[in-house]
Amino acid sequence: MRRIRVVKQRGSNHGTNEYPFVIDAGGLSVVPVTSFHLDHPAVTEVVSTGVPELDVMVGRGGWYKGSTTMISGESGAGKTTFAAAFADAACRRGDRCPYLAFEESGQQLVRNMASVGMELDSWIDRGLLRIHASRPTQLGLERHLTTVYQQVEAHAPDVVVIDPITDFTSIGTSTDVKVLLMRIVDYLKKRQVTAVFTSLLHDRSAEDPTVSSLIDNWVQLRNLEVQGQRDRGVFIQKARGMPHSNQIREFVLSDEGIRLLDQVSGPEGVLTGRAQGRTAGAKEGGQ
């Protein structure tokens, strides 16, 4: 990692820290250090989560503009689908969205999301969606930071998706990754860019210590096992500044997109309408 420092500059105040910089096709880029002042603007305008039923679960009908949301869950829980739904909804509004993908190519992402009713290629053709796909180990943490800056400066987006942020842990310590994400969050907040990150959780009971304290909204996805069948559930862990549902809702992925099922409380805890139907059927069969 290259660093630069101004040792002295007569007659003027200057930063005394060492600043990382990169040299690429665009020349020399010095990476700014995050401001210590929390003076980000706070607006009341909201943007859709991309899932109508999830909008209802959020008291304001979506995420605050300029906020940062993390969607976490185990492998196969649907994190990328929720992130893509957010990007798809943004493009439908005419917003611009860079999508930084670290686990699948742009073409693979477009193909996979088409299976759940999202035609992302149409937004790419119109210049609203830009997928930047690369392996996280290809570059250092600072280079990933400058990539975010360059995408924002070049395209002036309204929203940004980073999928997933947990891949950064393969190229840096937890402290390094937290500093990186803090700088990304602060940079996007100052520009009122609404961000969605995805995060892989290996243990559903474990909180993600890397970024959970930095983000405004946290949505958790869970793999549920009900009577020998694996289902998926979603709940809102937190949403700063807005009331939100405390329900765990089962959801399904179909060719029409993400659909949350009605919630029903049963004697053994939270049951969805579909789970309740299975339970009733089992009782009738035993009579």
Q: What is the pLDDT of residue 207?
A: 53
Q: What is the pLDDT of residue 14?
A: 77
Query: By the 8 A CB rule, do 219 and 208 touch?
Result: no
Q: What predicted TM-score, i.e. pTM, was given to this entire model?
A: 0.81
Domain 41-217 sits in CATH at 3.40.50.300
Q: What is the pLDDT of residue 224?
A: 84
- Which of the residues in the chain have pLDDT under 70? 1, 22, 26, 29-37, 136-140, 172, 202-210, 263-287
Residue-wise pLDDT for 125-158, tens only, equals 999 999 999 876 666 677 777 778 888 888 899 9
Burial of 252 (0-12, 13-18, 19+ CB in 10 A): middle
Q: What is the pLDDT of residue 227?
A: 78
Tell me the torsion sign for CA atoms 240, 246, 248, 251.
Answer: negative
| E strand residue ranges, the chain | 2-4, 19-24, 27-30, 46-47, 63-64, 68-73, 97-101, 129-133, 159-163, 194-200, 217-226, 229-239, 249-254, 257-260, 263-266, 269-272
User: Could you tell me the residue ranges of all domains in the chain?
Assistant: 1-32, 41-217
Q: What is the pLDDT of residue 33?
A: 56
> How do strand 229-239 and strand 159-163 relate by DSSP bridges?
unpaired
Tokens of 178: 């937290």
CA 67 – CA 216 distance, rounded (Å): 6
